[in-house]
Structure 1
Amino acid sequence: MLLFWILWGIDAVISLVLLYFFFVGLADGSVSSYNMGLWSLIVIGIGAIMLGSLWLKSHQYLYLADIVLAILAVPGLLYGLFLLMILITKPRWN
């Protein structure tokens, strides 16, 4: 049960970051009719992961709900660790 809420919290943070970039893109015009289809699929997919995991948990499929949440949480954590490594080690890119 604790793993579910940890993964759900990580996914919630990732979702908030994605929605922030979506709304900022709408405001400055970088999200336009040209790429609105891609953005719509991404936002719907994130919503499906978040709501689908809650539905699975409420129907006592906790293991399956953890797997669904891990689809988004694992790449998000790996990217966060990559950024942390870049900040700590300050590599030279030339």
Structure 2
Amino acid sequence: MILQGILFGMSWLTLGVILFFFLWGVSDGTVSADNILLWAVLIAVPSAILWAAMTLRAKGRRGAAMALASLLAVPALLAGIVILVFISNPPQWH
């Protein structure tokens, strides 16, 4: 039950970050007609995954819902860990 909450929380957070950067891009003009299709896919795919996971959870298929939610949560968690490692231990580029 706790793992399920963590996975769904991370999935929602991932979708929130994507929407934040989309809205930021709309406000400063970097999201335009040239790249709106890319943004539509970047928003639609995680939304569909999260919607399907929540639908499976509502139907009582918790294992499948957690597996689907982990498609968003695990890569976001790994990316966050890499960013924290680079912040806490900056690389020497010379």
Structure 1 and Structure 2 fold alike (TM over 0.5): yes
The CA RMSD over aligned residues, in Å, is 1.0
* Deviation by residue 1:45-90 (Cα, 9 ceiling, x = unmatched): 1111221111000111111111111111111011000011111112
Give the count of matched residue pairs: 94
Letter in 2 for 1:76: A
Alignment of 1:73-88 (within 5 A): 73-88=73-88
Compute the displacement of 1:91 (Å): 1.4
> What runs of 5+ residues in structure 2 fail to find an aligned partner?
none
Write the distance in 2 (CA, Å) between the matches of 1:42 and 1:87: 26
The alignment's TM-score, normalised by the length of structure 2, stands at 0.93
TM-score by length of 1: 0.93
CA distance in 2, matches of 1:33, 1:14: 24
Note if 1:49 corresponds to 2:76.
no
Moved over 2 A (4+): none
Q: Mind listing any 5+ residue stretches in structure 1 that lack a counterpart?
A: none
- SS of equivalent residue, structure 2 residue 24: helix
Alpha-carbon offset, residue 93 of structure 1: 2.1
Q: Name the structure 2 match of 1:30.
A: 30
Q: 1:8: Cα distance to partner? A: 0.6
Amino acid at match of 1:4: Q
